């Protein structure tokens, strides 16, 4: 049984003389939150347009739940573009019903599901408000509901938290987690690495149309670790006295950050500190953030 909701194999897309997507292959596991990352102009939007059938690939293969991508698949996908597409002169209720009907829901089912979601977000009173009278954050909630109302198996969110305050960001984040728990797959495209680190299980990093990093977030952070450690202690340690073979990066009143060198291990430092007659309060390895890895890998691929 295929455990991937989405698979791309050797996908290529060119516009005139520019290759936007260059031989890209990756899988999005069913029921997972997957990050599609890359700087501006990397090819993320081109990929999303191919997956949502807005445009077609020049070559390669895209499958949804093991079936070659076809004109029926958009009804199984919910897509929230970065450029929100709501009609400002329409009222919230009629706009949402219109968009739900486009996804194949009957008028009756559309209204029932929309009332459920608007009540869940405590915004049923917005039904007769004009879209143009909503704040950016309010409009974002409406767009999110329009994206998920037809119970898609794959949801594509392009910068879903942009313009949202922390409370509404957490509201949308909670809904993303709940949808995942129900088996929905989420493809999440953003520039904000701290959000990716928090909610994504797997990522693909694209630059200039090519994949430069792909895999599990935890494994990627492990892969790029630099033998860097934090140590905090209680007590007084002889000032500036550290064993040879270690690079001391930062110091404070109750601890320091260090890197191991050739022939040394973190345990050697731990033993040394304990021999100084101080109590170790905290000792942990420092893994690089996704943001640090992102910057480094994009810089390398641009050389």
pLDDT band at 119 (very low <50, low <70, confident <90, very high): very high
Residue 208 near residue 274, CB atoms below 8 Å: no
- Domain assignment present for residue 35? The answer is yes
Same domain, 129 and 151: yes
Is residue 209 one of the residues assigned to a domain?
A: yes
- Average the pLDDT over 262-275 and give the result: 89
Residue 300 lies in a domain: no
User: Both 275 and 258 in a single domain?
Assistant: yes
pLDDT of 1 above 80? no
In a domain, 293, yes or no: no
Q: Which residues are registered as beta bridge partners of 202? A: 34, 216
Residue 291 lies in a domain: no
Q: Which of 159, 189, 217 is the last residue of a domain?
A: 217
231 and 169 belong to one structural domain: no
Tokens of 278: 């101080």
What is d(CA 222, CA 238) in angstroms, rounded to the nearest whole number?
33
10-38: pLDDT as tens digits: 999 999 888 999 999 999 999 999 999 98
Residues 160, 192: Cα–Cα separation, whole Å: 11
For residue 210, what is the domain's CATH number?
A: 3.40.50.300
What is the rounded distance in angstroms from the CA atom of residue 141 to the CA atom of residue 169?
10
Quick one: pLDDT at residue 238? Answer: 67
What's CA 303's distance to the chain center, in Å? 26
**Domains contained in the chain, number:** 2
> What average pLDDT is seen over the chain?
90
State which H helix or E strand residue 279 sits in: strand 279-285
Are residues 271 and 164 both part of a single domain? Answer: no
* 209/231 same-domain check: no
Residues 104 and 82 in one domain: yes
Residue 120 and residue 247 in one domain: no
Q: Are residues 113 and 212 in the same domain?
A: yes
Q: What is the DSSP letter of 76?
A: G
Q: Do 244 and 250 contact (CB within 8 A), yes or no?
A: no
CA 103/CA 105 separation, integer angstroms: 6
* Signed CA dihedral, 130, 131, 134, 138: sign only: positive
Specify whether 51 is located in the same domain as 97.
Answer: yes
23 and 150 share one domain: yes
Are residues 148 and 235 located together in one domain of the fold? Answer: no
239 falls in which pLDDT band (50, 70, 90)? Answer: low
Owning domain of residue 25: 4-217
* Section 165-189 average pLDDT: 92
Strand partners, 203: 35, 215
Q: Is residue 294 part of a domain?
A: no
- pLDDT confidence of residue 98: 94
Whether residue 302 lies inside any domain: the answer is no
Query: pTM for the full model?
Result: 0.86
- CB within 8 A of 209, min separation 6: which ones? 19, 20, 21, 22, 24, 42, 43, 46
Strands of the sheet containing 154-158, edge to edge, are 77-80, 154-158, 185-190, 33-37, 202-207, 210-216
- Residue % of the chain over a pLDDT of 90: 62
* CA–CA distances in Å: residue 258 to residues 230, 249, 266: 7, 5, 9
299 assigned to some structural domain:
no
Same domain? 132 vs 263: no
């Amino acid at each position: 049984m295929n455990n991937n909701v989405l698979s791309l194999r050797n996908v290529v897309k060119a516009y005139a003389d520019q290759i936007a997507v260059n031989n890209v292959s990756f899988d999005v596991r069913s029921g997972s939150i997957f990050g599609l990352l890359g700087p501006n102009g990397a090819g993320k939007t081109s990929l999303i347009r191919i997956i949502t059938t807005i445009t077609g690939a020049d070559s390669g293969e895209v499958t949804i739940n093991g079936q070659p991508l076809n004109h029926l698949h958009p009804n199984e996908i919910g897509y929230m573009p970065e450029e929100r597409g709501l009609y400002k002169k329409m009222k919230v209720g009629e706009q949402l019903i219109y968009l739900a009907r486009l996804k194949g829901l009957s008028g009756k089912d559309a209204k029932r599901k929309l009332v459920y979601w608007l009540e869940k977000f405590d915004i049923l009173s917005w039904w007769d408000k004009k879209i143009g009278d909503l704040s950016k954050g309010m409009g974002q909630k409406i767009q999110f509901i329009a994206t998920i109302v037809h119970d898609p198996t794959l949801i594509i969110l392009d910068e879903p938290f942009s313009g949202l305050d922390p409370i509404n960001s957490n509201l949308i984040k909670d809904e993303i987690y709940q949808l995942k728990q129900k088996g929905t797959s989420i493809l999440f495209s953003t520039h904000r690495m701290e959000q990716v680190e928090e909610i994504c299980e797997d990522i693909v990093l694209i630059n200039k149309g090519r994949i430069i990093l792909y895999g599990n977030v935890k494994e990627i952070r492990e892969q790029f670790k630099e033998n860097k450690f934090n140590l905090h202690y209680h007590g007084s340690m002889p000032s500036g006295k550290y064993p040879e073979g270690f690079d001391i990066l930062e110091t404070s009143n109750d601890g320091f950050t260090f890197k191991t060198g050739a022939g040394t291990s973190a345990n050697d430092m731990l033993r040394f500190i304990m021999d100084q007659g101080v109590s170790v309060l905290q000792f942990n390895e420092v893994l690089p953030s996704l943001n640090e890895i992102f910057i480094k890998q994009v810089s390398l691929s641009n050389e």
